[in-house]
Amino acid sequence: MNFLKYIWLIPLLPLVGCFFNGVFGKRFSKVTIDFFALGSTLLSFLCSVGAVWQLSRLQPEERVFNLNLFEWIPAGVALTAHGFANFSIQWGYRLDPLSAVMILVVTGVGFLIHVYSTGYMAHEHGPHLGGYYRFFSYLNLFMFSMLTLVLANNFALMFVGWEGVGLCSYLLIGFYFHKKSAGDAGKKAFIVNRIGDAGFMLGMFLIFQTFGSLDFGTVMARAAEAPIEVYGSVGVLTAIGILLFLGATGKSAQLPLYTWLPDAMEGPTPVSALIHAATMVTAGVYMVSRTSVIYTHAPTAMMVVAVVGGVTAIFAASIGLVQNDIKRVLAYSTVSQLGYMFLACGVGAYFVGIFHLMTHAFFKALLFLGAGSVIHALSGEQDLRRMGALKNKIPKTYVTMLAATLAISGIPPFAGFFSKDEILWQAFSSEYGRWWLWLIGVVAALMTAFYMFRLIFLTFYNESRVDPEVEHHIHESPSNMIVPLQILAVLSVIGGFVQIPKFLFGGFDGFERWLEPVFKHPATEAGAAAVEHASLGAEAGLALFSVVVALTGIYLAYRFYYRPSSAPDRAMASAKPVYTVLFNKYYMDKIYDALFVNRTKDLGNALWAFDRGVIDGGVNGSGWFTRFTANVSCWWDKWIVDGLVNVVGFTVKMLSYPLRILQTGFVQSYAFLMVLGIIAFIWLYVLR
Amino acid sequence: MLRSYLPILIQIILASLIGFGILGLSYLVGKHKPTPEKLMPYESGVRPTGSAHERFAVKFYLTAMLFILFDVEVIFLYPWAVIYRELRFFGFFEMLTFILVVLAGYVYIWKKGALDWNKN
Amino acid sequence: MTLPQVPILPILPELILTLFGIAVMLFDPFTAKPHKSWLSSLAFIGVLAALAGNVLLLAAEGEYYNGMIIVDSFSVFFNFLFLIIAGLSILASRQYLVREGVNHSEYYGLLLFATVGMCFMGGANELIMIFIGLEITSISTYVLAGFRRTDLKSNEAAIKYFLLGSFATAFLLYGIALMYGATHTTHLSQISSALLTGRIDLRLVLAGTALMMVGFSFKVATAPFQIWTPDVYEGAPIPVTGWMSVGPKAAGFAAFLRVFFVALPALDQKWFWVLWVSSVLTMTIGNTAAMLQSNIKRMLAYSSIAHAGYILVAFAALTPNGIASIMFYLLAYSVMNLGAFAVISAWSLSGERRVTIDEFAGLGYRQPWLAAAFTVFLLGLTGIPLTAGFTGKFFMFRAAINSKLYWLTIIALLNSAASLYYYLRPTIAMYMREPGESGRTSAPQDSAPLQISMATKVVIAVSVLAVFYLGLFPSTILDFAQSSAFLVH
């Protein structure tokens, strides 16, 4: 079987599952719902594996498979900067090494989370609640949208997936729609995303205007021929890059559009794991990598990406230091890690961004699922201050979460070490890198290690602060929740071995070589050469340094939260204002409210007040004017509007009058009319 | 082109001449002594009762129609019979098909009771 | 013993339909009354089998039986169309027939035989064959129009259609005879080549063309031969009206297109102007008269006249794109109209009561789904975007524009805009008026809950889906139509 020919099945299968569960799910038993949801996802995963395996059998240069299913929007010819271009959009899929990595992550992690959800959401199944089928239907719809996003071979279809995942995110954040906060969070996510989408759309328009196509292959080929813009200037490519990146900041929760992600934690925990950690939020990173040619030709845009990524990494990590909600800590961590990925893309190391995307998908999904398991064990408790000493009560959850925490902190040999270290190295040594970008990354790494171990210590160590009532309900999660955790834990340990730096055992660059065909073009060749110059010693030294930094973060967390002493307390007391600012998330939500949300409301109120004023004023103060206008409009109605209507009616009547006369109902007169018609025809043909 | 139709015209003229001639001659030559009995429509020697413009049962029309239908279909056998030797078995099977279709129609009207005179 | 090889594949759908037609006819007298419900199923299975047979035709392109029958993607497309129409009509009829007490086998048999005739019209490559197909279709249709034997209006419709139809068919035959006299052939492509030699009497050919156009114009109900339509459509049973307004009309257009584009392209500057005038007249008469109707069947009869006028606009474009757009539009119009008539049939009461527009008042509250579907069909017929009607009209008018028929297109667009007025009337009645507001008092049993059979629901649902599918993703069908249009042109 040629799996490549059947890649259209990969997105379609979850859609089928979505259809069955969504339409008939209400009457299905739990097993049937599981069958459709899990079955379709598993099949999709197997198809992905098959397709990627066959892709890997090809020569590296040939690893691009385009499959155009049908012409989706044929809209004719338009004049663009690239001459006349046919605006024809295919419903087509493109499998290349980049999308291969993405579909494996999406379907693989997605399937594990589906399995997990059958346990986590089990209590939702029932005739009265009925949320179970809805949940899986949405989840499968999400899979479809995400796979469409990553498999699309043009910007327009990618945008379909882009909007589709946004919609699913909205639906799933607001899954518990009876909770006002959940509904609000859903709306917030959708609206903030829409702001970014506007950027994406403008970028897309500009791409068509510039390159005369929306097809990835064509656009990339044409962009590769364009001259590289001067650093510091804003040309067309830079504008495209920044507009697209605006879309990415919305979807991937970067400054300034990150605020929706922490609120999105109102959704069920598997959703947080799948959508708001492992897959959807990485769409921005994928998109930037997908358009790497454009960015490489626009150094200014790259710098914007790198700076925004770096600042977001440190900014979100600092908020994460003091949050007390277990899921919110992870949410800020996600924002921060996404910042890392953008940092990597911004310094031209796209493959590292994707590498970190993959490892992050493993360990962050695991952290969320683990958190879900903790919450499950504690009957819904999410506050770190009311946890503690869970290590022996839920040991399996503890072990897997510890593995993920070590991975995210960057401790070798866990997966996070390899990807994070590569990012820092690239930030330091790449052609586009800067020493201060590296410094930002290192500080963020320190914070990451600190807040993650703070979370571990507060959750699993020390004395129990759990409500006595909850205490005796504590139980380890069922095996359908634990097994996905264990699989992800294994992946978090070994996931980094696909790319090992040179100074360790001679190194291994399998991942880089796999992605090379996607990112390799003349402009990157120069950058790659520059990297070669840097010495192995420096790379090893920096790696060692970042491990030391991580260990420092862990030690600080240990001092602060495992074995509290007076010193940290004093330090905290002296830094009280800082703590307050961090605890309130830099007051960003309030600032946004003040700057945008409330101003918008004010505008609405003002318009309303204006309306009311005019109407009241009109009634009270301008009686004569009303009477005057009434008279005018009466005259208008009577002579012009009625006149027009009457003219039309009169015309129709006059036209239909002869018709009525002809339509006598007598068959002989009909026959006579036909004879007249025949005579007319003969006359028209023969005699005229 | 119209010349080729001349024989037809001549035939029409001849036919009308003969027809009208015979009728006209017998009208002119024959004797006319009408009596009430002679003016009566000839109905098997029986005295006619009622109006001639009577409504007939629809059964008559139905039977007549069915007769004509099958009669016309059977006429198709004549040309077939003429070239039967040339057509050989092909013609045989073709005609068999045709007869079967006609037979299906016959079975249909039979079972529907169209041939049952006493059925209303 | 050698038997000549007679290919049966080229007429496989027709054969299957004929066999099933005979089987259905014989099924009735041989079985007891309770088994009558099997009739429609049997007929429907026949249509499905013929559809399967039609798929095989795709692989058998070519001319057969001494060039009498041609199998090409044009004929296959129309076969599909006729079979879809027949299938939907059979499903939509059953409940109505049972309600009116006329669920007889002859109905299904005649419908299948008529479809056979239509398929022959689409696949005929020769004038006599077209005539035979047309007669098979017409005679079945005459009987179907009068199928409610005890109803005077139905009888009237049948006899009117029969008299005028025979009249028109006679002229078609006359035209064929003249054509044969002039060119010594009835084979379409041979006529075409005979015309090019120039050694023929042009006056005879022109007279033949005029008379053939009379026959076709009558079948597709375009001016000045549309006069029979309202009376016949109003009197015929509702499902028959629905079927007649799409099936024989499409078959008429199939033959019309093939004869004029294959046999008579040399004269296109002659018949172009006749089409032009006829198109303007047809559209205007149809739309103007439709505005004044109170009976919904009669209104849709005039609407079907108007639609034939739109189709003539694309006909007059004289391009393959025009032909392709007509084929697409016939499909789009068929599903919309069949759906609309299925709704009317579901809403009407026994004895064909409750078929005036006023009596649709309150349908929106009593049967929201039915009303929504009806609205979709009416909007589709108007040509509102997202529906099949829009894409269909768009392609047709674009073909006309490409042929520089600006005035004709403008008239068509104005007509199309004006049609919104009468298509909206039932919608307004359904949603914005209370039942009984028109002053009629309805009997208590009339307000009983509506029973809609599964088959009718399926027809309505399929039609709604098709309206949106053709409206949103027209390219597959249009591409197929385009590839076949080049063959004809």
Model confidence at A565: pLDDT above 60: no
pLDDT of the residue at C1 = 47
Reply yes or no on whether the pLDDT at C179 is more than 50.
yes
How many CB atoms sit inside 10 A of residue C488's CB? Answer: 20
Q: Which residue has the higher pLDDT, B82 or A513?
A: B82
Q: Maximum distance among all alpha carbons in chain A?
A: 116
Among residues C401, C242, C410, which one has the least CA distance to residue C333? C242
pLDDT band at residue C439 using 50, 70 and 90 as cut-offs: very low
Cβ separation of C475 and A71 shorter than 8 Å?
Answer: yes
Cβ atoms of residues A44 and A10 within 8 Å:
yes
For chain C, give the mean pLDDT. Answer: 89
pLDDT band at A615 (very low <50, low <70, confident <90, very high): low
The one-character DSSP state at A81 is T
A573–chain C Cβ distance below 8 A for any pair: no
Give helix A536-557 / helix A415-429 axis angle, nearest 10°: 120
Residues with Cβ within 8 Å of A593's Cβ and at least 6 positions away in sequence, in order, are none
CB pair distance less than 8 Å for B93 and C3: yes
SS (H, E, C) A591-610: HHHHHHHHHHHHHHHHHHHH
CB contact under 8 A, C4 and B90: yes
3-state secondary structure of A375: helix
How many angstroms away from the CA of A617 is the closest CA of chain C? 34
Which of A681, A683, A684 should one mutate to test binding to chain C, selecting the residue with the greatest count of C CBs within 10 A?
Answer: A681
Does residue B30 belong to any structural domain of this protein?
yes
- Nearest alpha carbon to residue A339 among A299, A281, A287: A281
How far from each other are the two terminal CA atoms of chain B, in whole angstroms?
57
A584 in contact with C, Cβ within 8 Å: no
pLDDT for A418 beyond 80: yes
Cβ-defined contact of C22 to B101 (cutoff 8 Å)? yes
Q: Is A674 within 8 Å of C230 when comparing Cβ atoms?
A: no
Q: What is the pLDDT of residue A607?
A: 67
Taking CA–CA distances from C171, the nearest residue in chain A reads A678
Q: Which has more pLDDT, A126 or A174?
A: A174
Check whether A621 has a pLDDT greater than 70: no
Query: The tokens of A213 are what?
Result: 């196509």
Q: How far is C87 from chain B (nearest CA, A)?
A: 24
Residues of C with CB under 8 A from a CB of A: 159-160, 163-164, 167-168, 171, 203, 206-207, 209-211, 213-214, 217-218, 223-225, 227-228, 230-231, 270-271, 273-274, 277, 284-285, 288-289, 291-292, 473, 475-476
- Residues 6 or more apart whose Cβ sits within 8 Å of residue C234: C153, C157, C241, C295, C297, C298, C301
Per the structure, the count of domains in chain B is 1
Q: What local confidence, expressed as pLDDT, does residue A197 receive?
A: 87
Triad C339, C344, C345: Cα angle to 5°: 95
Rounded to an integer, the average pLDDT of C230-252 is: 94
Residue B5: what are its φ and ψ, rounded to 5°? -90, -5
Per-residue pLDDT of B64-75, as tens digits, reads 999 999 999 889
Q: pLDDT tens, A450-468?
A: 888 888 888 888 777 777 7
Spell out which residues of chain B touch residue C24, defining contact as CB-CB under 8 Å.
none
Q: What is the pLDDT of residues A259-280, one digit of tens each?
A: 888 888 888 888 888 888 888 8
Q: Which of A91-100, A129-138, A361-370 shows the lowest per-residue confidence on average (mean pLDDT)?
A: A129-138
**Which backbone phi and psi does A156 adopt, to 5 degrees?**
-65, -45
DSSP-based three-state secondary structure for A125: coil
Angle, CA C137 vertex, CA C103 and CA C311 arms, to 5°: 110
Q: Does C17 touch chain B (CB under 8 A)?
A: no
Tens of pLDDT, residues A475-532: 888 888 888 888 888 888 888 888 877 777 767 777 787 887 777 765 555 555 445 5
- Closest chain C C-alpha to B88 CA, distance in angstroms: 9
Q: Which residues of C touch B107 (CB under 8 A)?
A: 26
- Whether residue B118 is contained in a domain is answered as no
Give the residue-averaged pLDDT of A599-627.
Answer: 66
Instruction: Tell me the C-alpha distance between C186 and C178, whole Å.
Output: 10
Instruction: Look at residue A213 in the predicted model and tell me its pLDDT.
Output: 84
Residue of B nearest to C181 (CA): B1
Closest CA to A291 of A184, A194, A210: A210
pLDDT reading at A216 higher than 50: yes
Question: Which DSSP symbol is given to C349?
Answer: B
- Residue C37 has what pLDDT? 79
Contacts of B108 in chain C (CB under 8 A): 25-26, 29
DSSP C432-454: HS-TTTTSPPPPGGGGSPP---H
Looking at the complex, report in whole angstroms how far the Cα of residue B24 sits from the nearest Cα belonging to chain C. Answer: 37
Residue B119 lies in a domain: no
Whether the CB-CB separation of C462 and C101 falls below 8 Å is answered with: no
Neighbours of C6 (CB within 10 A): 10
Q: Please name the chains neighbouring C, where neighbouring means 3+ C-beta pairs under 8 angstroms.
A: A, B
* Structure confidence at residue B23 as a pLDDT band (50, 70, 90): very high
C26 and chain B in contact, CB less than 8 A: yes
The confidence score (pLDDT) of residue C20 equals 94
Mean per-residue pLDDT, C461-481: 91
What per-residue confidence (pLDDT) applies to A610?
Answer: 65
Asked if A655 is an interface residue toward chain C (Cβ–Cβ < 8 A), one would say yes
Shortest Cα distance from C133 to chain B (angstroms)?
18
The answer to whether the CB atoms of A665 and C271 lie below 8 A apart is no
Interface check for B108 against chain C (CB to CB < 8 A): the answer is: yes
Question: Considering CB atoms only, which of A74, A670, A680 is closest to C227?
Answer: A670
Reading phi first (left if > 0) and then psi (alpha if -120 to 50, else beta), residue A212 is in left
Rg (CA), chain C: 22
Concatenating the DSSP letter of every residue in A179-208 gives SHHHHHHHHHHHHHHHHHHHHHHHHHHHHH
Chain A residue with Cα closest to C203: A686
* Average pLDDT of chain A, as a whole number: 82
Q: What is the pLDDT of residue A319?
A: 84
Report the DSSP pairing between strands C62-64 and C69-71. antiparallel
Whether the predicted pLDDT of A365 surpasses 80:
yes
Across the interface, whether the CB atoms of C207 and A686 are under 8 A apart is answered: yes
Q: Chain A to chain C, count of Cβ pairs less than 8 Å apart?
A: 80
Residue A557 — very low, low, confident or very high, per pLDDT cuts 50/70/90? confident
Backbone angles phi, psi at C474, to 5 degrees: -80, -10
Q: What is the pLDDT of residue A217?
A: 85
* Main-chain dihedrals φ then ψ at residue A78, nearest 5 degrees: -135, 155
| ipTM for the complex shown | 0.88
Among A122-136, A370-384, A655-669, C199-213, name the one with the lowest average pLDDT.
A122-136
Residue A206 and residue C18: Cα distance in Å, rounded? 60
Is the pLDDT confidence value at A130 over 70? no
Residue type, position A444, single letter: A
Distance of CA C155 to the CA centre of its chain: 21
Domain that holds residue B37: 2-112
A84 touches A78 (CB < 8 A): yes
- Of B89, B104, B108, nearest to C3 by CB-CB distance is B89
Percent of chain C with pLDDT over 70: 96
Question: How many angstroms separate the CA of residue C341 from the nearest CA in chain B?
Answer: 32
> Which residue in C has a C-alpha nearest to residue B92's C-alpha?
C3
Which H/E stretch holds residue A75?
strand A65-80
**B5 in contact with chain C, both atoms CB, cutoff 8 A:** no
Please name the helix (run of DSSP H) or strand (run of DSSP E) that holds residue C62, with its range, or none.
Answer: strand C62-64
pLDDT at C300 over 90: yes
d(CA A86, CA A90): 12
Section A414-428 average pLDDT:
86
Specify the pTM. Answer: 0.55
Beta bridge partners of C69: C64, C124
pLDDT surpasses 50 at C122: yes
Q: What is the CATH number of the domain that holds B39?
A: 1.20.58.1610
Biggest distance spanned by C-alpha atoms of chain C? 78
- Whether residue A674 and residue C159 make contact (CB cut-off 8 A), yes or no, is no
pLDDT confidence band for C461 (50 / 70 / 90) = very high
Per-residue tokens: A243: 């507009």
Number of H helices, E strands in chain C: 19, 2
- Touch between chain A and chain B: 3 or more Cβ pairs under 8 Å: no
